[in-house]
Amino acid sequence: MWASPRELKRFAVSNGDLLICEGGDVGRAAIYAGPDGFIFQNSVHRVRSASGNDLRYFRYVLEAVHGTEWFDVLCNKATIRHLTSEKLADLPIPLPEPTEQRRIADFLDAETSTVDRLLASRRRQLILLGERLSARVMEVTGRLTVRGVAASQEWQRLPLRRVVASIKTGSTPSGGADGTWATPDDPGALPWYTPSEMDEWMNLAPPERFVDSGGGGERGTTRFESGAVLVVCVGESIGKTVFLDHAASGNQQLTAVKPSDRVDGKFLAWQLWGASQEIRDSSPYTRVRIINGGDLLAFPVAAPPRLVQVAVRKELDIEAGKLTTLRDSIARFTAGLAERRHALITAAVTGQIDVTTARGVEVP
């Protein structure tokens, strides 16, 4: 992006700067290691050391906090979370002397390196599984091969609006995060979703909140009908897609597309899932990524005969089920490693272990 000489100076990043997410995955941090000539944008905080404090230690402190629900409390999770500079500055942290900070950071650098390599290997396996599924989705929705269906059959492509019965954007009930929420046992309660309950493989996690389907207040509840396709249209996870097999509601980052009788809902969901990167790339990148309803409805989708759609959907469901079993096994192992890593970091930065005598570390 273009930047003036003044902005280049003011927003420059230098080797060793600590960068912290202000939006999206708030509190996630990394130390910049690279050449000069780059700047940071307004959803990132830049932190530099004062009085000899070790930024590696501060990054580990943030990792310890990030692994808890503290940032969910500090920021408003109901809409789009923001870790403002004021909230970040007010974050209470343990602050030993700089010499002790360096000891702790050296200890954690050494102890987490092996775990990090193993985690990277397992995460790469997950990426490869996702790529395999994505390739299969693109193959069958690209008119190549579908078992039991003639591959030569022409697939008509139409703007999404031609195969949609309705489109709705979610909302946050009156009162926001501090408002009154329903319980699962309340009559007419609807599960209320945010992008955080949508994974990368078109699955929905159990909802954390429920709303009254009757609405009320200044902002009523937006009802998503069963059979709709949910697409994230606002935020860093834009393009995430799931098929909704039950009535629900959601926040304003979600758009529900209810297909017409012409299209099988799960088939449409697989198409949009496979095109998630295209949807993401079509959104303008400003402070927050957004794709509006008009642009989404203009997105081209295939509309072959319904028999073909059902055959495609069934095949992809089977393929996804097989890969999901492998993914879940790898994910459980990875989660266990990550938990042990977080526990080690938390113990070190809070003084629960003596890093000068801990096994496997050399302290001058």
Q: What is the pLDDT of residue 136?
A: 81
Contact 316/138 with Cβ under 8 angstroms? no
> Residue 122: how many CB atoms within 10 A of its CB?
16
For the domain spanning 1-94, the CATH number is: 3.90.220.20
C-alpha to C-alpha distance for 81 and 74, rounded to whole angstroms: 9
What are residue 213's phi and psi, to 5 degrees? -65, -15
- Enumerate residues 6+ apart whose C-beta is below 8 A from 169: 222, 233, 252, 254, 255, 256, 293
- The three-class DSSP label of residue 52 is coil
Q: Does the pTM exceed 0.85?
A: no
Cα Dmax for the chain:
72
Residues in Cβ contact with 90 at an 8 Å cutoff, skipping those fewer than 6 apart: none
pLDDT at 79: 52
Q: How far apart are CA 264 and CA 269, in angstroms?
A: 9
Which CATH number is 156-303's, of 3.40.50.300, 3.40.50.2000, 3.40.47.10, 3.90.220.20?
Answer: 3.90.220.20
156 with 308: CB under 8 angstroms?
Answer: no
**Through-space distance between the first and last CA atoms of the chain, rounded to whole angstroms:** 45
Q: How far apart are CA 76 and CA 103, in angstroms?
A: 35
57 and 345 in contact (C-beta within 8 Å)? no
| Rounded average pLDDT per 10-residue block, the chain, 364 residues | 88 94 86 92 90 93 84 62 83 91 93 89 85 81 48 69 95 69 89 93 91 60 93 91 96 96 94 88 74 90 89 89 85 88 92 77 37
